[in-house]
Amino acid sequence: MLVNVQHLSKTFGQFKAVDDLSFSVQEGEVYGFLGQNGAGKSTTIRMVLSLIKPSGGSIEIFGKTMEKSRSEILSNVGAVVEKPDLYRYLSGYENLSLFARMSGKNISRQAVNDCLELVGLSARSNDPVRVYSQGMKQRLGIAVALVHDPSLIILDEPTNGLDPQGIADIRNLIHLLSKERKKTVIVSSHLLSEIEQVADSMLIIHKGRKVVEGRVNDLLNPNQVMLEVITSDNDKATSLLQETSWSAGIRPSPFQKIVIEIASADVPVLTKYLVDREIGVSGLRSMNSLEAYFLSITSGNEV
């Protein structure tokens, strides 16, 4: 595991922004970090980057802790948190060259130019950043995160404020970094359709707590469905299901609903099982997309 977070928490006064959060990121994967605005994504990322101090829990990156190896860890991490901070009156090249020198590594002029080409800014590298579009600023921010050739890249809401073409450009860049450059990428976003297209694994958090974590292909397996079951007695139905082989598929739901991952062929069997035990089944909703599942568990919306 490249990143290992255990029982992480952060409290601001009486408000608990992150609550007992644990997750792990494997080397070489794109890891989607999902949650609605205010769910605790940016707070978690800031703790991972040691920008703010956790109230509790542990963080290991490259098998080391920030307490003992902060400089060593951060020298091999690149990040864009929320929006990039750039010097508006310097050119794209001057910005990137400045950040390259600040990294403490011996980065050549050619390496700076290669990084600008990688993010698609070669043709505009001599223009001042103040005339850049939002998408160009976002790409330059990613170039700043990449210029020192880190192994781990953390992108917090990288497509915020971008048009469809800009979103597609960032998605293609993430693919390139992962598949061709063999980088590990953590992408925080609330744009679920984008995460479906780029992530190998994902974590969904709600109000600072983990709701579900797993491989995207497993969670979106066409032979499996994420089923919302509406019954006359959800507590009794849940208790009965926990005594069956389907118990491993029961997913947390903060809205007193039954959400269960189950083989498509088992749906009628499960329904009969509940009805035979005098549990009325008034509705079944199949959530066969990440977006439908996400909305169900984080907002209570019926999809």
Token pair for residue 71? 């400089």
Of 90-104, 159-173, 210-224, least confident by mean pLDDT is 210-224
Question: Is residue 28 within 8 Å of residue 184, measured between CB atoms?
Answer: yes
| Burial readout 186-201 (b: 16 or more C-beta within 10 A, e: otherwise) | bbbbbbbebbbebbbb
The pTM of the full predicted model, rounded to 2 decimals, is 0.77
Looking at residues 48-68, what average pLDDT do you find? 93
Any residues with CB less than 8 A from the CB of 71 and at least 6 apart, and which?
A: none
Confidence of residue 297 (pLDDT cuts 50, 70, 90): low
Predicted pLDDT of residue 289: 58
Confidence of residue 84 (pLDDT cuts 50, 70, 90): confident
HSE-CB for 275 with a 13 A CA cutoff? 9
The closest alpha carbon to 277, from 248, 251, 243, belongs to 243
HSE-CB for 197 with a 13 A CA cutoff? 14
CATH says 220-299 is which class?
Answer: alpha beta
Q: At what angle do helices 109-118 and 134-146 cross, to 10 degrees?
A: 130
Looking at residues 48-75, what average pLDDT do you find? 93
Assess whether pLDDT exceeds 80 at residue 169: yes
Looking at residues 109-117, what average pLDDT do you find? 93
Q: Read out DSSP for 121-181? A: -GGGTTSBGGG--HHHHHHHHHHHHHTT--SEEEEESTTTT--HHHHHHHHHHHHIIIIIS
Predicted pLDDT of residue 299: 61
Predicted pLDDT of residue 223: 75
Confidence of residue 99 (pLDDT cuts 50, 70, 90): very high
Predicted pLDDT of residue 242: 92
In three-state secondary structure terms, 24 is: strand
Predicted pLDDT of residue 67: 87
**Per-residue model confidence as pLDDT tens digits over 122-135:** 999 999 999 998 88
Report percent pLDDT > 90 for the chain. 52
Assess whether pLDDT exceeds 60 at residue 179: yes
Question: Is residue 224 within 8 Å of residue 67, measured between CB atoms?
Answer: no
Residue 3: what are its φ and ψ, rounded to 5°? -125, 130
Assess whether pLDDT exceeds 70 at residue 255: no
Confidence of residue 225 (pLDDT cuts 50, 70, 90): confident
Rounded CA-CA distance 44/19 in Å is 10
In three-state secondary structure terms, 278 is: coil
Predicted pLDDT of residue 20: 94
Rounded CA-CA distance 226/174 in Å is 28
The closest alpha carbon to 239, from 279, 205, 203, belongs to 279
Place domain 3-215 in its CATH homologous superfamily: P-loop containing nucleotide triphosphate hydrolases (3.40.50.300)
Looking at residues 86-103, what average pLDDT do you find? 93
Instruction: Break the chain into its structural domains and give their ranges.
Output: 3-215, 220-299
Token pair for residue 256? 């007193």
Confidence of residue 303 (pLDDT cuts 50, 70, 90): very low
Question: Is residue 232 within 8 Å of residue 279, measured between CB atoms?
Answer: yes
Predicted pLDDT of residue 38: 84
205 to each of 38, 48, 50, 164, 217, how far by Cα in Å?
10, 16, 20, 26, 19
Rounded CA-CA distance 142/162 in Å is 14
Confidence of residue 288 (pLDDT cuts 50, 70, 90): low
Query: What letter represents residue 187's amino acid?
Result: V
